[in-house]
Amino acid sequence: MHVPVSITINGRQYSRDVEPRLLLVHLIRDVLGLTGTKVGCDTSQCGSCTVLIDGVAAKSCTCLAVQADGTSVTTIEGMAGDEGLHPLQESFWNKHGLQCGYCTPGMIMASHELLRCNPDPSDEEIRHGLEGNFCRCTGYQNIVRAVRDAAGSATGGAQ
């Protein structure tokens, strides 16, 4: 049995018939080929699969594709605009907030949510806001610096 779903991802409309148990992360990656969103644990522990659903950060490994029917999803591929990288992407690059890069898409999406809710967070608030996202390489110092830098950018971090 398949169920029809219609989801806007990064501004593009997708309609597919999917199995009711298909996770959103697998629709994004395996069906649609948008591989920026990562699968790290399949248990919502690591945050590598974080996307924005109707502008709010969510772990796509805990959401069924059918639950996202009718929503607008933004993945890491949808963050950059015609004018270049999103301020968060620029800050992660400039402040060395990544090493292997596996957690980076989820970190950026979670950081977007943090800055949407708190445009001027302290370092402690940044660390708290990113608690659901794990990085095994960086030690988080440069990630915190990158989020702080994006918060202070002229264009604003959560745009």
CATH number at residue 116: 1.10.150.120
At 23-67, the pLDDT tens digits run 999 999 999 999 999 998 878 889 999 999 999 999 999 999 999
- Average pLDDT score over residue span 16-26: 97
Establish if 82 belongs to a structural domain. Answer: no
SS (H, E, C) 91-156: HHHHCCCCCCCCCHHHHHHHHHHHHHHCCCCCHHHHHHHCCCCCCCCCCCHHHHHHHHHHHCCCCC
> pTM to 2 decimals?
0.90
Instruction: Read off the pLDDT band of 137 (50, 70, 90).
Output: confident
Instruction: Yes or no: say if 116 and 158 are a contact pair by the CB < 8 Å rule.
Output: yes
Establish if 158 belongs to a structural domain. Answer: no
pLDDT in the model for residue 153: 67
Examine the fold and report which residue of 58, 77, 96 is the final residue of a domain before the chain moves on.
77
pLDDT in the model for residue 156: 47
Q: Which tokens sit at 20? A: 């009711």
Say if residue 10 is in the same domain as residue 68. Answer: yes
